[in-house]
Structure 1
Amino acid sequence: MAARPKLVTAAAVRQEPREFERQQEARLPPEERMYIEIYDAIMEHRLPAGTKLTEQTLGEIYDLARHNVRKVLGKLAADGLVDLEPNRGAYIASPSEQEAHDMFELRQTLEQMVMQKVARQATAADFDKLRGMIERERDAYMQGNRPLWIRLSADFHIELAKLTGNMLLVDMLRRLVSRTTLLISNAETTGQQPCSFDEHLLVVDALQKKDEKGAQHEMAHHLEQCACRMLKRPEKRFDLRAALGKGDA
């Protein structure tokens, strides 16, 4: 499954990442815009696990026929973000506790492989890019921009996987990272953040020193911290239009 479209230049991202993206997204075809906006709403926890995605409402929001809406939902399902249930419809993925443990166990295995490959073959330019991502992640957190921080935290793991050059590995991790991001608690305690920029920085420091074992240790610890905070399913109902920033129109 293709990655979420990259719509921004490095300079623009550093200035106003979301505003610039929104301007470009507004010019996309409705199907692509729907995919990106739902993807972001899920990854940023504006649409929490278990939320129903109603075809009729989405069709009205994006002025799309139902078969086009189904195509987008199918793409999100392939990404691991949406579950399609026969005779019930589409729901934001809500993994069970057992699936959550299984996913983090698999991530541990795959990301250890990533550490091994990146420690051996990443370049100085690669590490500069990773450190830039961590800086943006830190900035987003310090500015209280939790949605952007969550997305950047997830993107960091995908970027590491890309440095291996193994696209099958990238696709597998993208699905797992997307799906496990849904499980991170909405009520983290300050100083105990899952997918924190501090933990990411320790990983990169070890990798740049070509300390393969050290990098594997830091990544294993980081993923253990992430796995400790499973999402508590909210009981309240969510307004689909509001979560997608569409108001009452």
Structure 2
Amino acid sequence: MSKSLKLIAGVTGMSDAESTGSLPARPEKPARKGSVEERMYHEIYDAIMEHRLPPRTKLTEHSLCEIYATARHTVRKVLSHLAADGMVDLEPNRGAFIASPSTDEAHDMFELRQMLERAVLEKLAGMPDVKTVIAPLRKMVASERQAFLTHDRPKWIRLSAEFHTALAELSGNALLVNMMRRLVSRTTLMIASVEAPGNNACSFDEHEEILDALEQGDAALAQSRMAHHLGACADRVQPDEPGNFDLRSVLGRST
């Protein structure tokens, strides 16, 4: 079995875990008026995606219980859900850590993303109402551009990642969406956070060009632009060094 096929098997194996919890399957940002469980999940998810919690940060159950004034079983449920989404690695006898994929794993994940996103674009380009279908993504890219222009880097990072999951959602394939969400989450963790977007990987300009090709119904052009885009993302992969980090400096601040 090839590395990519093994990775597919690993990704699909997580789908059952995602469907068992009470948390929403898709990591969106709701109003912070829900349960402690929901708020904890979304705050940790956002902090990871926005690079406010670095890779290999340990998520200690005791600290999270104190930060959110909740029971240990609630913390464990949230950590399991984050692990199912690829954001957290659960290590036996050691605890939960912010995911830090190896360079080899990142290579395999980007290879798999190339295949999956190519298939998504082919399906979308063949839709007779593709212009209407991708209209919400135009608004997302506009928000991504605005976040960059207003120097809201955390929001820009999150929107850049969500663009790819949103594309997959338009395909109507729930399994594909789950796979893409996990892959996008883990690969986003690997992209160097010190580089400015500009015309580099995950830029709003490249996203706009992909949508332009889709609107023209040109699957080959859209795929070519996506391949270049993801290749640039892969070139920016820089694993972070592990280190100690104070969870209280980032989490639970909306309490």
Q: TM-score, normalised by structure 1?
A: 0.88
Residues 40 and 6 (structure 1 numbering): CA distance in 2 closer, same or farther, change over 3 Å? closer
Q: What letter is aligned with 1:89?
A: G
Residue type at the aligned position of 2:68: Y
- 1:160 aligned onto 2:167: yes
The AA in structure 1 aligned to 2:150 is: Q
Q: How much has 1:110 moved relative to structure 2? A: 0.3
Distance 1:137-1:77 versus aligned 2 partners, 3 A rule? same
1:115 aligns with 2:121: yes
Which position in structure 1 is the counterpart of 2:214? 207
Contact preservation (8 Å) 2:67, 2:251: no
Note if contact 2:192-2:237 (Cα within 8 Å) is conserved in structure 1: yes
**C-alpha RMSD of the superposition:** 1.6
After TM superposition, list the pairs within 5 Å mapping 1:21-170 onto structure 2. Answer: 24-25=31-32, 27-121=33-127, 123-170=130-177
Deviation of residue 175 (structure 1)?
A: 0.4
| TM-fit CA distance, 1:37 | 0.4
Q: Which runs of 5+ in 1 are unaligned?
A: 8-23
- Looking at structure 1, the residues matched to 80 and 34 of structure 2 have their Cα atoms a distance apart, in angstroms, of 19
Q: How far 1:234 sits from its partner (Å)? A: 3.9
Residue pairs, 1:11-30, within 5 angstroms:
24-25=31-32, 27-30=33-36
Deviation at 1:235, TM superposition (A): 5.4
Which residue does the alignment assign to 1:3? Answer: 26
2:230 to 223, 226, 243: 223
Provide Cα deviations, 1:52-76, integer angstroms capped at 9, x if missing partner.
1010000111111111101100000
Partner-residue secondary structure (3-state), 1:182: helix
Query: Unmatched 5+ residue regions in structure 2?
Result: 1-17, 19-24
CA distance in 2, matches of 1:96, 1:115: 28
Question: What is the aligned-residue identity percentage?
Answer: 58
The CA distance in 2 between the partners of 1:244 and 1:167, in whole Å, is: 31
Alpha-carbon distance in 2 for matches of 1:132, 1:117 = 21
Q: Which has the higher contact order (CA 8 A, sep 6+)?
A: 2
* 1:182–1:231 contact (8 Å) kept in structure 2: no
Q: What amino acid is the match of 1:129?
A: P
1:35 offset after TM fit, Å? 0.3
How many correspondences in the alignment?
Answer: 231
State how far apart, in whole Å, the 1-side matches of 2:174 and 2:110 are. 20
DSSP-derived class of the 1:83 partner = strand
Shift of residue 179, structure 1, vs aligned partner = 0.6
2:196 is the alignment partner of 1:173: no
User: Secondary structure at the residue paired with 1:3?
Assistant: coil
Shift of 1:143: 0.7
Q: Counterpart in 2 of 1:11?
A: none
1:193, 1:235 → 2: CA distance? Answer: 26
Displacement of 1:4 in angstroms is 1.2
How far apart are the structure 1 equivalents of 2:179 and 2:239? 25
Report if the CA contact (8 A) 1:153-1:197 is conserved.
yes
Shift of 1:190: 5.6
**Conserved in 2, the CA contact under 8 Å of 1:35 and 1:76?**
yes
Q: Is the 8 A contact 1:137 1:153 kept in 2?
A: yes
Whether the 8 Å CA contact 2:55–2:189 is kept in 1: the answer is: yes
